[in-house]
Amino acid sequence: MAKLEVLKYPHPFLKKKADPIVPSAIDDALRQTIQDMFETMYAEKGGGLAATQVGLNMRLFIMDASENKDQKIVAINPEILECKGEIDDEEGCLSFPGVSAKVKRAQWVKMRALNEFGEEYELETDGYLGRCIQHELDHLNGITYFDHLSPLKRKMIEKKYNKLMQAHEES
């Protein structure tokens, strides 16, 4: 397995809308990419990772919201079928290391996707997992959590983020 590079804001690829994966392209090579993405996500201590965050133009994200990191979820060509309620909670992102902000999301979601074997499934969930689904699906649509912030809040978080990145480059 290979750890992949997580693209950092403001990389232009993070604004790209990903292309669907043709079911016939779900093969061992794609499954290896999925394993590489899990390795990367775990190494970065994240709960989810979209293919666009590692420079791959494909509608694919992975998640593992479990404490023991033993409940892998693969979502190929995911779509949200239904959502209910609203919750405003803190959110971070591997592409924006060191900063977080409160983001409004649906409280409950129902998603349909394909797994790593091309089998269709549906998932109904709320809480952290529901938030993660919405966050990662946004990435596949070229949207970051920064895009959900007010201009003032975005400017404040961007300033903090830029200082962190500058300090990291100097060290």
pLDDT digits (tens, 9 = 90+) for 54-77: 999 999 999 998 888 899 999 999
CA-nearest of 38, 22, 168, 35 to 96 is: 168
Q: How confident is the model at residue 7 (pLDDT cuts 50, 70, 90)?
A: very high
Rounded to two decimals, what is the model's pTM? Answer: 0.95
- CA torsion 135-140-141-147 (nearest 10°) is 40
Tell me the two tokens of residue 4: 């992949």
Q: How confident is the model at residue 168 (pLDDT cuts 50, 70, 90)?
A: confident
b/e string for 111-139 if b means 16 or more Cβ within 10 A? Answer: bebbebeeeeeebebeeebbbbbbbbbbb
Please give the domain boundaries of the chain with CATH numbers for all domains: 12-170 (3.90.45.10)
Q: 67: which residues sit within 8 A by CB, 6+ positions away?
A: none
CA dist., res. 48 & res. 41, Å (int): 7
- Which residues are known catalytic residues? 136
For the chain, what is the mean pLDDT? 95
